[in-house]
Structure 1
């Protein structure tokens, strides 16, 4: 009981001595840094946000942050900004695979319009046989185009990025060929016939 009081007295004495030894700053003396502008101080205050006081406020902040991240991601999908793209679209290998697909024509990108045409033709009895033949031709064409595309893409990727992990790049490129050029995300960054970046 007496020991703890002695310790407290020793602490207060050392604090008083430290205060006495520290020289007081003259109010007219410069403080060593310029006074920030009001706009800078407000921006700093907003950047160093106060912690959430309730669960509801924390959920609202998290929702706003998620929405901002999704907006950045959506904008990146339209512009091709590599920094904010989703993880599946990021990296030089994926960018090259996208450009490789976007630089050429592929049968698979016309699959949906052809499928609608075949569906309409199959409803008409006179063109039912032709619809079946067209269906088979489209399937064979897509398979051949896909095999050739993956072979050429793998060869180019091995030459260009020998140390990178190429896993999944062929499937990524094939999924991109199934989308019509206008509907692809991230948006195509090169024209048809151009060399991939």
Structure 2
């Protein structure tokens, strides 16, 4: 009862297992071969999971992974690849807002260069130039606010017409913040020319 198998029984079992492996098997049937040892299964595993040995290696791996993700997102921002864009830039609503803003001229996109010019004029110790720079800055700021209101209302109306059932919360502010940048420096890169309708 508790005897060891003979060599004949072992060899016949091995021969049967080889025959079963050669024949295609029914998915509902039993597997027809012995379960491999753990060491064999681990050796045959296709995907090896690299487990870091210490915290330093784990942090290095996470930094490399983050760097690769950032590089992929940067390439997507430059090329306009919709699949790899960051979450804030994804979706047809955000793409429409970008195209809407990129197709229009606005005073707001020249705000930063004008602000640098005003700052340089205000540093000069001539009182007349300082007063002039302050007045120019106030006038330009009013123009930017009026331009923001005009573009914001136009974008809100266009979003309501184009995407009536979609939640577009935050999209108008997204478009206006994009409009503050010079056209050449905008990311994702503009996909439409000025004057085109998105």
TM-score class, shorter? 0.7 to 0.9
Q: Residue 54 of structure 1 corresponds to which residue in structure 2?
A: 53
Deviation at 1:21, TM superposition (A): 9.6
Aligned length: 168
1:60/1:119 Cα in 2 relative to 1: closer, same or farther (>3 Å)? closer
* Alignment match of 1:191 (pick from 173, 193, 198): 193
TM-score normalized with structure 2 length: 0.73
Deviation at 1:31, TM superposition (A): 8.3
Residue deviations 1:150-186, cap 9 Å, x none?
1110111111111211000011011111111111111
> Is residue 84 of structure 1 aligned with residue 84 of structure 2?
yes
Deviation at 1:97, TM superposition (A): 0.7
Runs of 4+ in 1 over 6 A off after TM superposition: none
What aligned pairs does 1:9-88 form with structure 2 within 5 A after superposition?
A: 20=13, 23-25=16-18, 45=46, 48-56=47-55, 57-88=57-88
Deviation at 1:51, TM superposition (A): 3.2
Deviation at 1:79, TM superposition (A): 0.7
* Alignment match of 1:159 (pick from 158, 161, 179): 161
**SS at 2:16's partner residue?**
coil
Q: RMSD of the alignment, in Å?
A: 3.0
**In structure 1, C-alpha distance between the alignment counterparts of 2:121 and 2:66, rounded to whole Å:** 47
> Is residue 104 of structure 1 aligned with residue 104 of structure 2?
yes
TM-score normalized with structure 1 length: 0.73
- Structure 2 gap ranges (5+): 26-44
**In structure 2, C-alpha distance between the alignment counterparts of 1:169 and 1:127, rounded to whole Å:** 39
Deviation at 1:138, TM superposition (A): 0.6
